[in-house]
A and B are shown apart, each in its own frame.
Chain A
Amino acid sequence: MADIAVESGRVAYKDAAARRARALRAFRFRNGSFHGLTLTAAVAVLVILGGVILSLIEGSLPAIRAFGFGFLYTSVWNPVTDQYGALAAIYGTLVTSAIAMFFAVPIGIGIGIFLSELCPEILRRPIGIAVELLAGIPSIIYGIWGLFVFAPFLQRHIQPALIAAFAKVPVLASLFAGPPYGIGMLTAGVILAIMVLPFVAAISRDVFATVPAVLKEAGRGIGCTTWEVVRHIVMPYARAGVVGGIMLGLGRALGETMAVTFVIGNADVIPHSLLAPGTTISAAIANEFTEAVGDLYTSALIELGLILFVITFFVLAIARFMLMRLERNVG
């Protein structure tokens, strides 16, 4: 009797061991395949970036072969004779972004200071969210608003005043030479400023919030005013992060398409006045790509896209590098 009991116990034990082994194998398999799946997805992110770069290079090969480096510094853009140069678009992109940063940086940092140092605790979250909502509004909305509301306003009230005010100043006179079109480089730059403002503001706020309270209290302890604390303690401490935020905003401004396309005027020339219509890389692509006939025309537009991607890639890489250094300091 006892033998039988032991026998059956052994069988049960073996059975259990086998089941256990099977379960473990299944666990290992499932874990391994899940690990592999997530790893593949992570690598896919890199593949996407590689794909973007490779496909842009492939698409722009005909234009690169036809124009070489001359593409970068000639400004002729003539679909009829199939002559293309990127200078006008590059110039427009850089100038509109510069105007945008000229307005957005001081105001964005001001909002950051307000949110982190001055704002009453109750209002901090709602105002912070409101600024972030400004970042969430789709760019086409800024475009339609810029075209129908903001450009006519500038044309009627601001631009005539600018033309009159700078008419006798030597250099600025040509920068602000009339007539007031409404749409043009300045309008595009100001719209871009409104668009990147929330990015600069949100990152400045986050960065200012990382400044240790002890430092600020020490400043107040020796009798600093609020502004002196901000200027000499908060800002130096947060410098790298703020620069990172500014570069991030710049990356946005350089690549922004729809808002600019509405208000830039789409003239393939280098305008002498900031009030005159021009073009940017992204606006040129958005406007002309679907209408581009001929391989060389399409290819030239894709090469414009490649140039834009390379510029923004480096700007954003610098931004991330600055922000990462800050995170390491904090962590």
Chain B
Amino acid sequence: MAVYTSRRRSNAIWLSLCYASAAFGLGWLVIILATLLWRGAGGLSLAVFTQMTPPPDQSGGLLNAIAGSLIMTGLGVAIGTPLGVFAGTYMAEYGRHTKLTFVVRFINDILLSAPSIVIGLFVYEVMVTRMGHFSGIAGAVALAVIVVPVVVRTTEDMLLLVPAPLREAASALGLPRSTVIRKVAYRAARAGLITGVLLAVARVSGETAPLLFTALNNQFFSTDLNAPMASLPAIIFQFAMSPYKAWQSLAWSGALIITFAVLALSIFARVLGSKGSSR
């Protein structure tokens, strides 16, 4: 009987620890989001979206940072997505069982979790030192390098989910492989492919480290890709580390904007993804 009680007791203790750890994990999400709302919502006004970043201790907005972030994220995704989709296509369609696919998958998975600051150093070495100055295009390329592995991974996974009979039916009509892929496989996996791109956008729009020494930062509005460009994360970093209250409050507002944009994107991507897979 004693053994029985002690087994029941250890069961109860360990399981409640599991429950506690789940509550603990969710607790952080709640605490962080609540803090963001509490500290960031106060400073949120129309001015944040329409005015430039101010000098210390004056009021202003984040327009140049938001614009810079949108430009570099858009450009980075535009460069990285085709490369990622084609590479994923090769791995899932043409070279499904080749050694090359195996190696690329392994390397891609490592790139997926590689420290983003190292990507920044790489682009600095390759672009910034050659061009002689920091630039928005270097920032976009750094983001593109981060986009590629995300898109490769989802493209391959999604194309592998496309049922083989679909491809066989198309091939039986005499269509060449490339047409089968573009007209059948891509269409069947469309929701999944878009999910991958959205996840990539969510991933890079909060990236700071690779922008610090590629796009640097800019206190003024600039759409010149050949010059340093502001970005929301870089501005948050600069303002939060400063001793000025007005800057810190803007940093919180920026943090709120970025977090909710990223969360909305990833929730939307998941909804889209689950719709695609349930069909």
Partners in one complex: yes
From residue B33, how far is it (CB to closest CB) to chain A in Å? Answer: 9
Cβ of B121 and Cβ of A107 under 8 Å apart? no
- Indicate if the CB atoms of B15 and A227 lie closer than 8 Å: yes
The contact string, 1 if C-beta is below 8 Å from chain B, for chain A 32-72, is 01110111111111101101100110110000000000000
Q: SS class of chain B's interface: helix, strand, loop or mixed?
A: helix
Interface of B toward A, CB cutoff 8 Å: 7-8, 10-11, 14-15, 17-22, 24-26, 28-29, 32, 35-36, 39, 82-87, 89-91, 93-95, 100-101, 103-104, 106-111, 113-119, 121-122, 124-126, 145, 148-149, 152, 175-179, 181-182, 202-203, 205-209, 212-213, 216, 233, 236-237, 240-241, 248, 251-252, 255, 258-259, 262-263, 266-267, 270
* List of B residues within 8 angstroms of A134 by Cβ: 25, 28-29
Whether A140 and B255, one on each chain, are in contact in the complex, defined by CB atoms closer than 8 angstroms, is: yes
Asked whether, in the complex, the Cβ of B107 is within 8 Å of the Cβ of A290, the reply is no
Interface residues, chain A, with chain B CB atoms under 8 Å away: 27-28, 30-31, 33-35, 37-46, 48-49, 51-52, 55-56, 58-59, 106-108, 110-111, 113-115, 117-119, 127, 129-134, 136-145, 147-149, 194, 197-198, 201, 225-228, 230-231, 248, 251-252, 254-258, 261-262, 282, 285-286, 289-290, 302, 305, 308-309, 312-313, 316-317, 320, 324
Pick the residue among B10, B35, B101, B115 that contacts A257 (CB under 8 A): B115
Give A320 to B117 CA distance when docked, in angstroms: 21
Contact indicator A133/B29 (Cβ below 8 Å): yes
**How far, in whole Å, are A127 and B26 apart by their CA atoms in the complex?**
8
Partner of A42, one of B91, B124, B212: B91
- The docked-state distance in angstroms from the alpha carbon of A10 to that of B237 is 77
Given contacts A34-B181, A111-B22, A140-B237, contact A49 B267 (CB under 8 A): no
- Report Cα–Cα, A27/B237, bound state, in Å: 53
Instruction: From B85, B101, B262, name the one whose CB has the most chain A CB atoms within 10 angstroms.
Output: B262
Q: Identify 15 residue pairs between A and B in the complex whose beta-carbon atoms are under 8 Å apart, listed by A's number.
A: A27-B176, A31-B178, A34-B182, A35-B177, A38-B93, A55-B122, A111-B25, A114-B22, A136-B266, A140-B236, A148-B240, A252-B113, A286-B209, A312-B113, A312-B118
Kindly list chain B residues whose C-beta atoms are within 8 Å of the C-beta of A285.
Answer: 117, 121
- Pair A289/B213 contact, Cβ less than 8 Å: yes
The complex places the Cα of A290 from the Cα of B26 at a distance, in Å, of: 37
Query: Which 7 residue pairs of A and B lie closest in terms of their CB atoms, listed nearest first?
Result: A138-B206, A255-B115, A110-B21, A41-B86, A34-B178, A38-B90, A225-B11
Whether B118 contacts A39 by the Cβ 8 Å rule is no
Query: Contact between A141 and B32 (Cβ–Cβ < 8 Å)?
Result: yes
Residues of B near A290 (CB, < 8 A) are 212-213, 216
